[in-house]
Structure 1
């Protein structure tokens, strides 16, 4: 028996989604201001240019989240019977590809600058009649810009866990780790100020490697969902507990001898195919299958689509953990 669950989220998840959307808009507002300031003060510093591009790329995950939430809200149709939940995975994949591509390009560019011994020139500038070293403005913008992502990143983690949303979760992790790139850029600029010309290029390489790592991590997470791997707990390498919970529920039914399931992760919801071996196959009733299906559906709001199939023996490669 199969049924598609009501698409409305529980109250707690609805509130988490509203909070996540608000935080995402705040992130975009911060990034617009920060990228503008970085562009105005970056000069010809390689580290500053890479930091500026990194902030431009940081616009991609929150934009992907906002677009994904709009698309997945569309109702299922005959042409798209499973709905549009994987729109979140597709947007996640596209943002990861952008991070990976630009990260690789910036790494090569920064490495070439180091090999060619390109020396950045960070001179003086006059502000309100006072001569100020340009590097101090760069450092001030970098330090000030490192604080909001730390706060926003921490605030996004809880709604990301409530929604089981990988895009929001990885965005929060990237925000929390953003200070390391800012620190590398600060060290690079100050290094140039004390005569260590290569510090700028090395800082740029470190930042580009950070972008590359974000791209690799996000690409793997998005592909694992798109190719229907067994769902993992959010941000962990261990299996998600929901498949085992489904098995425990089914095995708790008096007429079920064995049970196993296949679970596909589509965006932030799960599609469950459950298989049961009845104790007495000849007496299995349709009502029993309907109740089993409804019971699985009520275990968690993330169980969006459920199929319960009676079989004489369990197929291979099922999750049978309890």
Structure 2
């Protein structure tokens, strides 16, 4: 099974390539399901799969850029490129949701009979199974690689699965009751759900671009590591963190006795930096050395 492949094999690039292939397959299945049933709910499902395809392609581009090494113009690397992928995906989702509501509103006012519901439901369930399996694998890999682009694509696939579930429930309701308007209601419910998800993705992207602090569990790991080096002659303060795509950054001050030699202070600082980077994979630590009786002034009102 794909979930049993080695972690190093399930890289963001490979999984996004898989997402592109799966998106093409699901577009084919869902478009065929809409064609044989003439269901606006299944049409909305197929429209979201086109967003899956566009999002996966754009995410692959951004992940490729994010993996570029640091250069003179980007000394901190290109990791924030992944946030553009998440924001772009959110914008696409919102656009599709609006289109679905427009199409469903027309069908709600003018219901039409549905055809071949059995085939339509079977094709929709098959495409959902593919999306669900891929999303499951992508979530696991996103945690390992700390990739927001991969996580965003996985969340969108999960949204697609719930979209299909809502559509299937609506179609079953139509088959059992004969109420044709349930098809349009299911499509509108799907649109509202993905509208919420799109807004959430755009919000997360904006927070990443604004140098949001690291996650609470990461901050706890940093604080625990620093605390292990506390001594009556050593103290740490001004701990500031931020995240940038796959990278995590922490800046802090280390106060030590003024009688220490520069070599001893540098050796101790190296030990702290190495411990921090071992505790938090992908972390970059910057420690400023200060004598115990000196305080840094960071809150200049002119800044």
* Partner of residue 99 from structure 1, selected from 66, 71, 93: 93
Q: 1:182 aligns with which of 164, 184, 187?
A: 164
Residue-pair matches, total: 284
Segments of structure 1 that go 5 or more residues without pairing to the other structure are 1-14, 124-133, 318-322
SS of the aligned residue for 1:270 comes to: strand
Contact kept? 2:33, 2:121, Cα under 8 Å:
no
Higher helix proportion = 2
**Counterpart Cα distance in 2 of 1:159 and 1:253:** 39
Matches within 5 A, 1:1-322: 16=7, 18-20=9-11, 21-43=13-35, 44-111=38-105, 113-114=107-108, 117-123=109-115, 134-193=116-175, 194-232=177-215, 240-245=219-224, 247-248=226-227, 251-252=229-230, 255-276=233-254, 278-281=255-258, 283=260, 285=262, 287-289=264-266, 291-293=268-270, 295-297=272-274, 298-299=277-278, 300-304=280-284, 306-311=285-290, 312-313=294-295
Once the two structures are superposed, what CA deviation does each residue of 1:6-45 show, in whole Å capped at 9, x if it has no partner? xxxxxxxxx6353133333223212101101222331442
- Residues 239 and 220 of structure 1, relative CA distance in 2, 3 Å threshold: farther
SS of corresponding position for 1:81: coil
Question: Residue 267 of structure 1: CA displacement?
Answer: 0.5
**In structure 1, how many angstroms separate the alpha carbons of the residues matched to 2:102 and 2:271?**
55
Q: Distance in 2 between matches of 1:50 and 1:184?
A: 11
Q: Could you list the runs of 4 or more consecutive aligned residues of structure 1 that deviate by over 6 angstroms after TM superposition? A: 314-317
Identify the range of structure 1 (200-209 vs 18-27) with the bigger mean alpha-carbon deviation: 18-27
- What secondary structure, in the 3-state scheme, does the structure 2 residue paired with 1:228 have? coil
Q: 1:108 to 1:274 in 2, by over 3 A?
A: farther
Normalization by structure 1: what TM-score?
0.77
Rounded Cα–Cα distance in structure 2 between residues aligned with 1:295 and 1:79 = 29
TM superposition shift of 1:247: 3.1
TM-score (norm 2): 0.81
In structure 1, C-alpha distance between the alignment counterparts of 2:89 and 2:148, rounded to whole Å: 12
Q: 1:46–1:120: 8 Å Cα contact kept in structure 2?
A: no
- Unaligned runs of 5+ residues in structure 2 are 1-5
Which is further off, 221-230 or 183-192?
Answer: 183-192
What RMSD, in angstroms, separates the aligned Cα atoms of the two structures?
A: 2.8
Classify the secondary structure of the residue corresponding to 2:128.
helix
